[in-house]
Each structure stands twice: as C-alpha cells, then as structure tokens.
Amino acid sequence: MRGKTHLTIGVLASLQASMLFNKPLSLINVVVCSLFSILPDLDTSNSIISNTILNHHFSKKIYKIVIYTLNILIFLISLKINGNFLISSIVTFISIIILEAKITHGFLRKLLLSLTFILLAICIYLINGKFYFILFTIILALFPWLKHRKLSHSLLAILIINFLLKQIELLTNISNICFFGTIGYSSHLFLGDLFTKSGIPLFYPLSEKKFSFGFLRVGGTLSNILEIIFVLFLIILIILTLIKF
C-alpha cells in the first residue's frame, strides 16, 4: 500500500482502538499511532517517512556533490602521482564508473538516514538521555539497511517495538503511547501489506514464507481505488462503533 494510505489507516486505527478498548485518545497518541503506521517502510529509501526525514531532492544534490568531489580528488591524486594529464583523465574516468556503480543514490540515502539517527542517539546520550531512548534511536538507524518487507514486517518487529515503547512510556509517564504505537505499527502489517500481492513474512527470521490475503499491487490503478474503498470501509466501521457506544 501507499504511504499515505498507511498513514490514514493508522489514524483510523487509533480512533477505532480507542473506542473498542476504552483507551483515552490524546493528540500525542494520534501522532504516535500515525508515525508508527508508516515506520515499517523506513527499510526503503523512497518511502514517505524516509522522504520526511530526508528530502529526496536534497539527497540527490548531496549525491551529485559527493560524485563531483570524488571525481576531482581522484584526478588530482592521479595527476600528482604520475604527472600525466591524459593518464590521470583515463584513471579518473574508469574510477568514477566503478564508484558510481557502488555508490548509488539509494546507498547514499540509506547512509544519510542512518547517520541522522546515529547523530540523534549521540545527542540523546550527551544530554544524559535514558538508555531506551538511545537504543530505540539506534534501532531506527539500522532500519534503512534492512531488506524491504523482511524483519520490519514481521511479528518479531512488533514485539520489539512494543517492548521499547513500553519502556519509553514508563520513563516519560505519557499514557498509552505503547498501546497506540503498537496499534499503528500493526496496522501497517495487518490492515495494509498483508493484503498486497507480495505479502509479508510474519514469522521472519524463523521463516521467510510470505503471507498474503489479497492481490493489491502498490501504485496500480485498481489497487489505488481499492485502497480508497478500504479506507471508506474503516470509516463506516468507526461510525457504527460510535453509534453502538
């Protein structure tokens, strides 16, 4: 499913869960549920959450700067070593072809996203932040390097998120962030990607078998229409729940 659909479902899931489980819903709970509803897709560099943290156009500019800088450095070093302009140009040309095959824009985005969370973890440490805040941030730094729809889309990931959020909730005394954060994360899997054609590996890493209850293809016209219908269905369920209660 598309990121904005996951985000919408996350908000609706927080409303529905609040009524069904009699949990008071605050603005921060809605925000937490929404953020965690798109968090699993941090394992792909072009997701809505990745682009929110690091603008795609900005990272492209950085990528060009990195490539041009490496180009100049390789040429200058080669020229200094052999003193021949033609040979240095050929060496630079070959080196850049190899480097561009290895240092892609996607690779650089992953690196920059990870460095952002690592820097945040360092800042939290320097201000004497609690251990679980640091641990949670470091785990987020690992997300961009995960294979898409592997660990991040498993039951194990939900358990890890639930545990860390519970510790953070105890440290901050902010009510129900564990509950709504887990609801948001779970909505991404069970109210979203489980209905796509590619499915999700629920029992990863014990098994890589992917489970699927649908045929949605992300970005397809039919899939986009069905996503809208599904969102409308969830809204109707919330209205019926309101009437019942």
pLDDT digits (tens, 9 = 90+) for 51-63: 888 888 888 889 8
Burial class (CB in 10 A: 0-12, 13-18, 19+), 48: middle
CA distance 13 to 32: 12
Residue 3: predicted pLDDT? 83
Cα 21 versus chain centre, distance: 27
Contact residues for 68 (Cβ-Cβ < 8 A; gap 6+): none
Residue predicted with more confidence, 55 or 179: 179
Distance, first Cα to last Cα, the chain: 31
Residue 82: predicted pLDDT? 79
What average pLDDT score do residues 74-78 get? 84
Residue 76: predicted pLDDT? 85
200 three-state secondary structure: strand
Q: What does R_g of the chain's alpha carbons equal in angstroms? A: 22
Are 197 and 186 spatial neighbours (Cβ–Cβ below 8 Å)? no
**β partners of residue 111:** none
Residue 245: predicted pLDDT? 65
- In this structure, the number of other CB atoms found within 10 A of the CB of residue 69 comes to 10
Question: Token digits for 125?
Answer: 């440490």
CA distance 208 to 167: 29
Q: Any idea which residue has 């796509």 for tokens? A: 196
pLDDT higher than 80, residue 216: no
Closest Cα partner for 185 from 213, 163, 170, 215?
163
Residue 166: predicted pLDDT? 93
